[in-house]
Chains A and B, each alone.
Chain A
Amino acid sequence: MITLQDFCYEDLFKDLNLFIVKNKITVISGANNCGKTLLIRILNREIVTSNTVLIDQAEMNQYTIEEYSKLVQCIIPLEITYEQPTLEEEMFYYNDNKEEIEKTIKGLKLKRSIHKKIKDLTTKEIVLSQIAIALIKKSSIILLDNIRMYLTEKETKEVIEFLKKQQNEREITVVITTIHLEESLLADYLYIIGNKSVALEGQPIEVLQNDNKINKLGLSLPFMIDLSVKLKDYDLIKEVEIDKNRMIEKLWK
């Protein structure tokens, strides 16, 4: 569990409360400049705060640098520091279980990148490599900041689905910050930040039905949610439907 209670930071957050549950995928969304990336940087201990941030009941700063870097892996592709080895060498450095590495490589579709030097990887490959390294390092918390910037919508969805599958085998807490609410449809919990605090939170499908509030917060609803909510207003359907084929069956019986 990651806990930020009554969290304040300069002029950006006031009494922000986040309770990020272990082994779940949590999406944190909000308009531009609402502090999403700042939050990730705080959780990655790049930005020091006098407020309390608890990771598994212990204050974040109580962990040593080594402990924390093993525990938390942040995916910020443009800030990659290791340069010399190939991706394969880098992965073996953290874990020599060949089978596990191969499985991760396959799952993240990185086969073609495995023998490239890390410095020669494209930004997209770097994002996927960082996720692969987080998995084989067995980090228990993975922070994904804005990965849609580097991957297509389909690739982003595939990455989240892959991480979800990994959760069946071991504990991984995934925190995703994004402006694209589509990503929350694959998550367990959604926070939307607005006016320096949590404006909306809950199960994504439930939260996303607050169309007026979400529009006021400057975010766009996923197409099928937007359509469903409006069709519900006209009494044309009873429940939100995110599958297009099922929606058509419901409308044209």
Chain B
Amino acid sequence: MNINDIKEILGAEVICRTDLLETTVNAACGSDMMSDVLAFVKEQAVLLTGLVNPQVVRTAEMMDMHCIVFVRGKRPNLEMIEMAEDRDMVMLCTDLEMFTSCGKLYSAGLRGGSGK
């Protein structure tokens, strides 16, 4: 699956880095708690979250993630968008809620990581 597939599946809007939509992604994580993301995610490329602050981008950066999906119609501010652009991350926004977003992506073959 690539990021463009995620965009299509979630009916999402691309906020930044359209040039990276072809990036392949193998696993994802959905959480509003960044410490949980830092604890359990390995080799995951996509972060789904309803949290909107710069630490979302920082967390994704530390985990080498390629794409952040904001669910429930949340939108990043300009500062966050600039941070993501600078770090080669695609940002997507969907009106779908977290559970539905994760369910759709899972059904399409995207998986979570290996846990601990």
A binds B: no
Q: Which residues of A contact B (CB under 8 A)?
A: none
Q: Which residues of B contact A (CB under 8 A)?
A: none
